[in-house]
Amino acid sequence: MSIFDRLLTPLAVGQTVLPNRMVMGAMHTRLETLDRPHARLAAFYAARAAGEIGLILSGGFSPNAEGVMEAGGPLFDRAEQLDEHRAVTRAVHAAGGKIVLQILHAGRYAKVPECVAPSAIKARINAWTPRALSLDDIGRTIADFAHTAALAVEAGYDGVEIMGSEGYLINEFAAAATNHRDDAYGGSFDARIRFALDVVRAVRERLGAAPMLIYRISSIDLVDGGLSGAEVATFAQRVEAAGADLINTGVGWHESAVPTIAASVPRAAWREAIRNVKRAVSIPVMASNRINMPEVAEELIASGVADCVSMARPLLADPEFAKKTRLGLADEINTCIGCNQACLDRIFTERTATCLVNPRAGREIEFPEGRARVAKRVAVVGGGPAGMAFAVNAAERGHAVTLYEAAPRLGGQLNMAKVVPGKAEFNETLRYFTARLAKLGVDVRLGEAVSAAALADAGYDEIVLATGVTPRVPDIAGVDHPKVVSYVDVLTGKVDVGARVAIIGAGGMGFDVAEYLLGDARESLDPEAFFRAWGVDVANANAGSGGLTKEMGATNPAKPRRTVHLLQRKAEPPGKGLGKSTGWILKARLRRAHLMTISGATYDAIDDQGLHYRVDGVAQTLAVDHVVLCAGQNANRVLFDELAARGIHAKLIGGADVAAELDALRAIDQATRLAVEL
């Protein structure tokens, strides 16, 4: 018996039996469009199928040209496209998996001038105003869904998922906010959900009984004018009656002002919205959003919230999530930390998705598995993300690795990141690397500041330096004043930070320190605190509210814990470099916590009075107890230079290589590539 018994129990979905309750959720990777034919996409999904995931849902494909996400976006409407899909379905089936095609009509979110919607109401996140569909257009669109479903089965998919959530076309019909029609498809609740039900019926009819038909319902819209909980429940019952085999759940619309999947959202926070759907129907229900651990997934099934779980990003992070769960190796699952840095932030900036903690994701062909031809003795110096990633990957390839870390614990910069409210998931990255290093027999030497002489004497075949960075000390008069501290002092708890603070430097670290000093960690750990902070009524009791309350920020004290000023020299608004999909969340949290920002600053001096600076030539003073330096970093290459003086060429990775771009994404990617080359 496994502690994940329920997760590992087969599940009947219509006439299909899934081997377990773990499903890879639909997610665009841009491999669908940026890399044709689908060789990389096929390898990507095949790796997940080989990792024993019970079912894969593809990224969404539009059933017609006006429903694409953007110009050139995924579209499946012609027989000529069958072969490239067959490459994917064959690869998945050959690896023992099952895959369903998601059909997604983007509606008014389609970033094309010809976009359509139930009514001609522009979305705030799209530059184009949609054209309202005529009754004829509606009939044609329903037929297009059915046509794409038929193509999907012809291409070898095991069924389809109809995307009815996240604010796309079907969701727009259902919500009064976006459906102002007065014909058979608008007005009353029954009329607004008619389009969804017509689509389900038409698709079922074309599919026949055997292929799976999954419908993704919006369990809570999180927009004003969205459905109530009672309406969602009724909607789910009608979807079941219309012929769905399984209901998947979505949370929020893309335009919602509430985060739904970022790391700052507590795990499984949306359980009550999902349970509402589960209670209403007799077919299986799938939970989604911020489920990143088998423990969380098992508990959702055990407590009757859902019958199975959808995980998209966690399957980027670890293709073997399901297999490791079955084998009792949950400790070795490379956990998705909800950062969005290498997946959504790359997709939003027109690059293919990969994963911060698993750079192989989406690049399976570039990173062949397997052992090195010659096993080497390798020394790695530095136990931060770069050093740990290199050590694990090199050991997996059969090299004998010794990892030296001067500090008494592994983690490097991760130890600082994980204490910032909303970033506790970094603990899982540390847990993963620690478990893998132990499993692979890497000789980890903690508290050992290895010297160049010792490395030279040991006669390693390769020496890799991941010695990280040292914080930059800017050239400001009085920078050695006792009230000046570095971000390291703050985040490692070395200083007891006062009530009035100035932060110099508004990069990622400056924002992290501001969040550390002002933020409330409970908001990311406790769903109730999260809902209060973001104004969510998860019971969604009020008609037309979409689950939003009018009150936001109730957990934030009217008087902040501290007075914090965040300064930068650039004249632009601070925070431009933060992640596209998460920066707005951090900025909103800090606004609520009364952070004050100052741009275009010239620093004059720091003394007993505080920080003296000028903006537009006007001299000002911030009377503060502490000035925290977050002014970037310099590469730490002392050991590299000492080895070079002995004629030994070591390889540099991570911040020790390029301090200016210090971040875990680049560090882990570079480390993994080097290990594969070795």
Q: Which residues bind ligand SF4 (CB under 6 A)?
A: 313, 316-317, 336-343, 355-357
Distance CA 218, CA 250 (A): 5
Distance CA 105, CA 126 (A): 15
Distance CA 525, CA 451 (A): 42
Residue 578 interacts with ligand NAP (CB under 6 A): yes or no:
yes
Q: Quick one: what does residue 336 bind among ligand SF4, ligand NAP, none, with the CB cut-off 5 to 8 Å set by partner type?
A: ligand SF4
Closest distance between ligand SF4 and the C-beta of residue 357, in Å? 5
Q: Quick one: what does residue 668 bind among ligand NAP, ligand SF4, none, with the CB cut-off 5 to 8 Å set by partner type?
A: none
Q: Quick one: what does residue 501 bind among ligand SF4, ligand NAP, none, with the CB cut-off 5 to 8 Å set by partner type?
A: none
Q: Quick one: what does residue 509 bind among ligand SF4, ligand NAP, none, with the CB cut-off 5 to 8 Å set by partner type?
A: ligand NAP
Count of chain residues binding ligand NAP (CB under 6 A): 23
Residues 347, 351, 354, 359, CA torsion sign: negative
Closest distance between ligand NAP and the C-beta of residue 313, in Å? 17
Closest distance between ligand SF4 and the C-beta of residue 618, in Å? 42
CB 401 within 8 Å of CB 443: yes
Closest distance between ligand NAP and the C-beta of residue 104, in Å? 29
- Comparing CB distances to ligand SF4, the nearer of 20 and 335 is 335
- Comparing CB distances to ligand NAP, the nearer of 331 and 607 is 607
- Comparing CB distances to ligand SF4, the nearer of 355 and 437 is 355
Q: Which of 579, 585, 635, 656 binds ligand NAP (CB under 6 A)?
A: 579
Residues 273-292 that bind ligand NAP (CB under 6 A): none
Binding pattern for the stretch 613-632 against ligand NAP, x by CB under 6 A and - elsewhere: -----------------xxx
Cα–Cα distances in angstroms (integers) from residue 207 to residues 14, 157, 169, in the given order:
12, 11, 21
Residue 663 interacts with ligand NAP (CB under 6 A): yes or no:
yes
- Comparing CB distances to ligand SF4, the nearer of 339 and 414 is 339
Closest distance between ligand NAP and the C-beta of residue 631, in Å? 4
CB 384 within 8 Å of CB 414: yes
Q: Which of 298, 428, 512, 657 binds ligand NAP (CB under 6 A)?
A: 512
- Comparing CB distances to ligand SF4, the nearer of 23 and 464 is 23
Binding pattern for the stretch 532-571 against ligand NAP, x by CB under 6 A and - elsewhere: ------------------------------------xxx-
Residue 611 interacts with ligand NAP (CB under 6 A): yes or no:
no
Listing DSSP states for 333-392 in one string gives -----S--TTTHHHHTTTS----SS-TTTT-TTTS--S--SS--EEEEE--SHHHHHHHH
Question: Which residues are CB-neighbours of 316 under 8 A, at least 6 positions away?
Answer: 27, 336, 343, 353, 354, 355, 358, 361, 362
- Comparing CB distances to ligand NAP, the nearer of 382 and 505 is 505
Q: What is the DSSP letter of 465?
A: E
Q: Which long-range contacts (CB under 8 A, 24 or more apart) does 28-31 make?
A: 28/59, 28/60, 28/69, 28/74, 28/347, 28/353, 29/59, 29/347, 29/352, 29/353, 29/362, 30/346, 30/347, 30/350, 30/351, 30/352, 30/353, 31/352, 31/353, 31/362
Residues 195, 197, 199, 201, CA torsion sign: negative
Residue 471 CB coordination number (10 Å): 17
Distance CA 191, CA 198 (A): 11
Question: Which residues are CB-neighbours of 361 under 8 A, at least 6 positions away?
Answer: 44, 316, 317, 319, 342, 343, 353, 354, 355
Residues 165-224 that bind ligand NAP (CB under 6 A): none
Closest distance between ligand NAP and the C-beta of residue 341, in Å? 7
Residue 580 interacts with ligand NAP (CB under 6 A): yes or no:
no
- Comparing CB distances to ligand SF4, the nearer of 342 and 629 is 342
Distance CA 232, CA 252 (A): 13
Q: Quick one: what does residue 300 bind among ligand NAP, ligand SF4, none, with the CB cut-off 5 to 8 Å set by partner type?
A: none
| Overall size of the chain counted in residues | 678
Distance CA 76, CA 460 (A): 54
Residue 662 interacts with ligand NAP (CB under 6 A): yes or no:
yes
Say whether 516 is catalytic: no
- Catalytic-role residue among 45, 109, 157, 168: 168
Active site residues: 168
| Residue numbers at the binding site for ligand NAP (CB under 6 A) | 472, 474, 504-512, 568-570, 578-579, 630-633, 661-663
